[in-house]
Amino acid sequence: MDILIPEQRVPVLLDCDVLVCGGGAAGVAAAVSAARHGAEVVLIERWPRVGGMLTCALVNIWHRSDREKVVINGLVEEATQRAMAAGWGEAYPLPEGRHETHRFDPEGMTLVFHRMLDEAGVRVLCYTVAGEPIVEDGRLRGVLVDTKCGRRAIVARIVIDATGDGDIAAKAGLPFELGREADGRVQGMTMMYRLCGLDEDRLAELSADEREAIGECMLAAIRDGDLPPSKTAQPCGYRNRSIPNMCPVAGDPLDEEELTRLTVLGRERVFRFLEWWRERVPGFGAAQVEQTGFSLGIRESRRITARTTLTAEMVLGAHKQPDAIGHGIWMIDIHDPLGSGYTTWCDRGDDNIVPRGDSYHIPLGMCLNEAIPNLAVAGRCASSTHEGHSSVRVQTHCMVMGQGVGTCAAMALASGVEPADVPVADLQQHLRADGVYLEDVPGGV
């Protein structure tokens, strides 16, 4: 059954140069970079805060090095330094030969992002869901939003879809892929959480044998079905306010009812683990859940088809691209679409890792399409295969895309051309001037 919606006149709420839909890592980077290069920018975000998976889902780890040197800089470096200076970030202790990594306080990073947006002059509307795109004569004129005062339109010369799920691009009719080729299932999702009330001194007293025994007991309980699925079965290294990544769920992130059920299931599982630990792990007797993620940590949904599709071969081969807007370093990191918590990191050794000291290029072409020239995407909805996506989906890489696309949008407007027609060498020059690491460009300087 269908319902006929009467034709209506919709008031224009805002008119801008660049409209960024989605205020996650990619959207923040796109909005800040476009505004710093002279564009009038509006950013709309459905949740009460910007930051996306980092701030709302508590996914607080950033990876930035090729295991020898840091190659992801630009706005990522700026945000990192701002967080570190305020005491909201720290270097993550890892063995030699692993990626340089930082972890952040999600509450603090919310303010870091908002401050960057405010200073750049971006108009930010949280609590605002990007609705239907307004497509006229093969171009995107803007986006409809439903406000507390009724339906309104935000008109823009260029629209950047940074919704994560590619909502605007898909509604505008652009083709997309969903999940793995075999069955369409997407990567598993995770409910992140913080604990408090741990006796950290008691935990520190546990011997290696005691820690191993607890881990084995927990794995046995998972195998027997007495605990939910997880592949991270070692609570003995936890500390107060740490944010573990161990409660997987699996399903369709584009189905709101199923997503609601999975979010509740994730929270139920957090408390089930805590109940088990209180009874069996020294130091956990008074532990409590301080916070669960406002959202599940969603890794994958739509991948919008664009001019270039990033593949596993490009990632693992450290492939270089003439239209590079930055570098990527992360491995092929597929979390089991069936929800076991298994990842490809567990059993493939170095077969799923970019060679040490090397990196692949993130191309502008994975963010631009052939059909609607003034619509770009940035973030996890950019064009990639299921395998390629599992590397480029991480937040630092999404910010690389956002900074590249936002800068390109501002340059296109200043020159009166489409984003795809901006001279790539000029764009790369601007990105380097803004601190982006960009080396080994084929045919470049």
Instruction: Please give the pLDDT value at position 198.
Output: 95
Total number of domains constituting the chain: 2
Task: Report residue 243: phi and psi, to 5°.
Answer: -125, 95
* 285 and 326 in a common domain: no
Element (H, E) at 124: strand 123-125
Work out the mean pLDDT of the chain and round it to a whole number. Answer: 94
What value does the mean pLDDT take over residues 320-334? 97
- Of 419 and 243, the one with more pLDDT: 419
Residues 37 and 158 in one domain: yes
- Please check whether residues 27 and 95 belong to one and the same domain: yes
Report pLDDT digits (tens) over 19-71: 999 999 999 999 999 999 999 999 999 999 999 999 999 999 999 999 999 99
Q: Using CA atoms, how far apart are residues 427 and 441, in angstroms rounded to an integer? A: 13
Residues 195 and 162 in one domain: no
Structural domain ending residue among the three candidates 264, 292, 320: 292
Residues 62 and 173 in one domain: yes
The predicted structure's pLDDT at residue 98: 74
Residue 6 lies in a domain: no
Verify that 223 and 261 share a domain, yes or no: yes
* Per-residue pLDDT reduced to its tens digit, 340-356: 988 876 666 668 899 99
For residue 235, pLDDT beyond 90: no
pLDDT at 80 exceeding the cut of 80 = yes
Bridge-partner residues for 153, per DSSP? 12, 144
Q: Which two tokens stand for residue 92?
A: 């993550």
First-residue to last-residue Cα distance in the chain: 59
Residue 250, in any domain of the structure: yes
Within a domain: 415? yes
* pLDDT for the residue numbered 348: 67
Would you say 301 and 381 are in contact if contact means Cβ atoms under 8 Å apart? yes
Cα(181)–Cα(327) distance, integer angstroms: 26
The string of DSSP letters for 7-76 reads: P----EEEEEEEEEE--SHHHHHHHHHHHHTT--EEEE-SSSSS-THHHHS---EEE-B-SSSB---THH
194 in the same domain as 178: no
Q: Pick from 250, 275, 292: which residue ends a domain?
A: 292
Determine the number of helices (DSSP H) and then strands (DSSP E) in the chain: 12, 18
Model confidence band, residue 390 (pLDDT cutoffs 50, 70, 90): very high
> Residue 92's pLDDT is what?
77
Tell me the CA distances in angstroms from 138 to 278, 364, 375, one per residue in order.
59, 21, 10
Cβ-count burial 298-326 (b if 16+ within 10 Å, e if not): bbbbbbbbbebbbbbebbbebbbbebbbb
Owning domain of residue 198? 189-292
Mean pLDDT for 171-178 is 98
The verdict on 199 and 177 lying in the same domain is no
Residue 199 sits in the same domain as residue 144: no
Handedness of CA 116, 117, 119, 120 (dihedral sign): positive
In a domain, 5, yes or no: no
Find out whether 191 and 249 touch, Cβ atoms under 8 Å. yes
38 and 175, same domain (yes or no) = yes
Model confidence, pTM: 0.96
- Assess if residue 110 is contained within a domain: yes
Residue 439 lies in a domain: no
Nearest to 59 by CA among 187, 222, 214, 212: 187
Question: Is residue 270 domain-shared with residue 398, that is, in the same domain?
Answer: no
Q: Is residue 440 part of a domain?
A: no
Task: Choose among 22, 14, 16, 12: nearest CA to 52.
Answer: 22
CATH of the domain at 176: 3.50.50.60
Last residue of a domain, one of 246, 275, 292: 292
- Predicted confidence at residue 99, as pLDDT, reads 77
On whether both 147 and 23 belong to a single domain, the answer is: yes
Q: Is residue 444 part of a domain?
A: no
pLDDT at residue 285 above 70?
Answer: yes
